[in-house]
Amino acid sequence: MKPPKFAYHAPATVEEALGLLAEHGDDAKVLAGGQSLMPLLSLRLARPEALIDLGGIASLSHIGVDDDVVTIGAMVTERDAERSDIVTRHLPLLAEALPHIGHVAIRNRGTVGGSIVHADAAAEIPAVMVALDASVTVVGPGGERTISAADLFQGHYTTAIEDDEILVDVRIPVTPPSTGSAFVEVARRHGDFALVGVAATVAIDGGLASDCRITLSGVGDRPIRATEAEAALVGKALSDETIALAASAAVAGLHPSSDVHGSATYRKHLAGVLVARALTTAAARATASQGATR
Ligand SMILES: Cc1cc2nc3c(=O)[nH]c(=O)nc-3n(C[C@H](O)[C@H](O)[C@H](O)COP(=O)(O)OP(=O)(O)OC[C@H]3O[C@@H](n4cnc5c(N)ncnc54)[C@H](O)[C@@H]3O)c2cc1C
């Protein structure tokens, strides 16, 4: 099927895009890479009368690092983020997660901002944003505001960003060199959305975990931070035993759905296995980086 008829707008600035959004209201949709929106139009699950393409707004395609914060513009493609030296050096968790998104052809068009606003609960970028305590900058008729990743994702395909707002960038604290991180997932086929994904970081001080983050995707209606499991690990040595206990704590309260790709029981079991795998890898990387800096 082809999309229904729509008017195409190509603003050159964010202000112009906001003006068009205000003018067309609920009849308009912002277009980024189109990798999620265009299929919805072709299936006629969305019927906007106007598309406002952000592709011509140069200011939204910048990646930079300043004051220990990496800023990624909303229109940076998933592929450009994956190939960015700044991301590789300062955000190894994101660098490891990005190649799991679809295929290269998808990542050449799909954008970091589009993935965040689309808010698929199995998507890689939202899970990494939650794990790294990122925040997003949005602009709308009321001006600019910042939303933390913890408050951003509100349910399946739902964020705290209003329809008349545009996401302009995401800000992510630099991962200290002594912190180890790991992103692991299982998908039925290469390029499919994951059944379950886990993003983890571990900082080790004097042989004990001083900070730990665990975020799961694909097991709820949004990325889920396993705060009880994180707290259980802080102050402890990361052994097979403590990691196994943390993995059990991380999945204890999960209620994933069953679908044609996997049952709830399988997803929950898989989540525990992947949490343990991610923590083990992150801890080994933290230990190795300490050896390297000594
Ligand atoms: C075959 C296939 C496989 C895929 N596999 C994966 C996968 O494994 N993992 C994964 O995470 N994703 C996957 N995707 C989705 C891909 O990552 C998309 O690129 C992404 O979800 C949406 O980004 P986009 O730039 O294409 O956004 P678009 O499709 O253009 O937009 C998506 C939504 O976000 C809104 N939006 C976009 N940008 C902004 C902005 N700056 N401000 C406000 N609203 C905005 C749009 O209005 C729309 O509602 C896959 C897609 C395909 C087609």
CATH code, 100: 3.30.465.10
> By CB neighbour count within 10 A (0-12 exposed, 13-18 middle, 19+ buried), where does 40 fall?
middle
Q: How many CA atoms lie within 13 A of 33 on its CB side?
A: 24
Task: Tell me how far apart the terminal alpha carbons of the chain are, to the nearest angstrom.
Answer: 60
Both 216 and 249 in one domain: the answer is yes
Is 116 part of a structural domain of the chain? yes
pTM: 0.97
Confirm whether 164 is domain-assigned.
yes
Classify residue 294: in a domain, yes or no: no
The verdict on the CB of residue 195 being under 6 Å from ligand 1 is no
Task: Please indicate, yes or no, if residue 1 is contained in any of the structural domains.
Answer: no
d(CA 72, CA 172): 8
67 and 161 part of one domain: yes
Distance (Å) from CA 98 to ligand 1 centroid: 13
Same domain? 41 vs 94: no
Out of 115, 145, 183, give the residue to mutate to test ligand 1, the one with the largest number of ligand atoms within 8 Å of its CB. Answer: 115
On whether both 119 and 77 belong to a single domain, the answer is yes
Q: Which of 113, 139, 173 is the last residue of a domain?
A: 173
Ligand 1 nearest-atom number relative to CA 117: 34
Query: Does 57 reside within a domain?
Result: no
Nearest CA to ligand 1 atom 48: 37
- Quick one: CA dihedral 57, 59, 63, 69, positive or negative? negative
Q: Is residue 227 part of a domain?
A: yes
Spell out the long-range contacts of 227-232 with Cβ–Cβ below 8 A and sequence spacing 24 or more: 228/252, 228/253, 229/275
Q: What is the pLDDT along the chain (294 residues), one digit of tens a residue?
A: 789 999 999 999 999 999 999 999 999 999 999 999 999 999 999 999 999 999 999 999 999 999 999 999 999 999 999 999 999 999 999 999 999 999 999 999 999 999 999 999 999 999 999 999 999 999 999 999 999 999 999 999 999 999 999 999 999 999 998 899 999 999 999 889 999 999 999 999 999 999 999 999 999 999 999 999 999 999 999 999 999 999 999 999 999 999 999 999 999 999 999 999 999 999 999 999 887 654
Counting the structural domains of the chain, the total is 3
Q: Which residue, judged by its Cα, is nearest atom 6 of ligand 1?
A: 102
Same domain (yes/no): 138, 231:
no
Tell me, using a 6 A CB cutoff, whether residue 31 lines ligand 1: yes
CATH of the domain at 32: 3.30.43.10
Instruction: Compute the distance from residue 118 Cα to the ligand 1 centre, in Å.
Output: 6
Asked whether residue 114 falls in the same domain as residue 38, the answer is: no
Looking at the structure, tell me whether residues 214 and 124 fall in a common domain: no
Which residues form the domain of 148?
62-173
| Shared domain check, 257 and 188 | yes
Choose one of 173, 189, 208: the last residue of a domain. Answer: 173
Q: Do 168 and 186 have their domain in common?
A: no
Does 190 share its domain with 271? yes
Residue 208 contacts residue 236 (beta carbons within 8 Å): yes
| pLDDT for 141 | 94
DSSP character at residue 77: B
For residues 234 and 209, is the Cβ–Cβ distance under 8 A? yes
Last residue of a domain, one of 157, 173, 189: 173
The CATH number of the domain holding residue 262 is: 3.30.390.50
| Closest residue CA from atom 37 of ligand 1 | 114
Q: Does 2 fall in a domain?
A: no
pLDDT at 292: 65
In a domain, residue 184? The reply is yes
Please tell me whether residues 44 and 124 are part of one structural domain.
no
- 30 vs 126: CA distance, rounded Å: 19
Residue 200 shares a structural domain with residue 273 = yes
CA atoms within 13 Å, Cβ hemisphere of 191: 5
pLDDT for 110 = 98
Q: Please give the distance, rounded to the nearest whole angstrom, from the Cα atom of residue 227 to the centre of ligand 1.
A: 28
110 lines ligand 1 (CB under 6 A): yes
